Amino acid sequence: MSLIITYISSKGCVIAGDKRRIAYFGDKSSREVLEEELYTGKIKSDEELQRRASELGVNIKVTDDTCKVRSLGDVVVGEISQKTPFETRRRRIYATTGAYQIIELTGSRITSMEKGDTAIIVFGNKIAKEITNRFLKKRWKTKTSLKDVADLFRELMDHVSSQTPSVGSEYDLFIKSPSLDKKSAHRLLSDTIVRDVRLLQKWRAKLKQEMLDRREEIKLASRILTEGEVGRVMRQDGRHVEVKLAGDVEAYDTRWKKVAGPGDMVLMRISDGGTLSPGEKIAVRDENLCVEGRDIKVDCDVIICRREE
């Protein structure tokens, strides 16, 4: 669900892109029916989309806050993407005065590239492209300024969004007009693509690590001790108590870094006055840390977990 249109001329370039994203939740076959009706133009308004989704038992979430076009110095960039269970595929256009380059990426790897000079390039779903082509055929003038093109693109975005809910009424638009010859323009685009893809690679690597860290956190959280023995009292100094962890217990700090294993010492605190004897059991009962068999609560600054088998 996208419409991105780019005009490239010897005077400069203009790009516009809508901000709509639609998420579908429900039976796969029903989702496919809804998408087919949407992208072939059978569904013509937001109200019809909501009604048809309800009839098919598909829940949808429609937002108009996705940035599909952006500005990078003297270059404009537009992107449409398709997510699969295994990877994200992207199609991007980079444009400046008198030049454009289109690349396709799988993940952060470039799989194809094409170059051109002056043109009007449209990215979008089937119905959005059809409406756009009909509009331009009627309204386009051969000799026009960048400002006139920008005004026409604004009208176009409004027109298309009124004809199909696959395109939203909110959009971004950028104009660039640096003074560049053809060779310099393509060199600028190539340099921009290299930097941009490297940033994408770094972002994906960071995201992957964050996902791995989150997965590990979830795994560790599932091992938090909610019932059973924690360890035995070894020594007491006022409210502070040294506890030797049991053979199947580990301790982690709040960043999920392991700080103590079975048989290691962990410092704990008793909440009220009282004297504990060496060997007394510290346990978790009803998810509360306490002295076994006594009405004395205990707390500590670590997370107590079962050791992974």
Domains of the chain: 3-20+64-217 (3.60.20), 228-306 (no CATH)
**Long-range contacts of the stretch 273-281 (C-beta < 8 A, 24+):** 273/239, 275/236, 276/233, 276/236, 276/241, 277/233, 278/232, 278/233, 278/234, 278/235, 279/232, 279/233, 280/232, 280/233, 281/229, 281/231, 281/232, 281/233
pLDDT tier for residue 286 given thresholds of 50, 70 and 90 = confident
Summarised one tens digit per residue, pLDDT across range 141-187 is 877 899 999 999 999 999 999 999 999 999 999 999 999 999 999 99
Task: Tell whether the model's pLDDT for residue 203 goes beyond 80.
Answer: no
Put simply, whether the predicted model's pTM sits higher than 0.75 gets the answer: no
Q: What is the mean pLDDT of residues 237-243?
A: 91
pLDDT on residue 283: 93
- β-partners of residue 171 are 18
Count the Cβ atoms, other than its own, within 10 Å of residue 210.
Answer: 10
Task: Tell whether the model's pLDDT for residue 43 goes beyond 70.
Answer: yes
pLDDT tier for residue 103 given thresholds of 50, 70 and 90 = very high
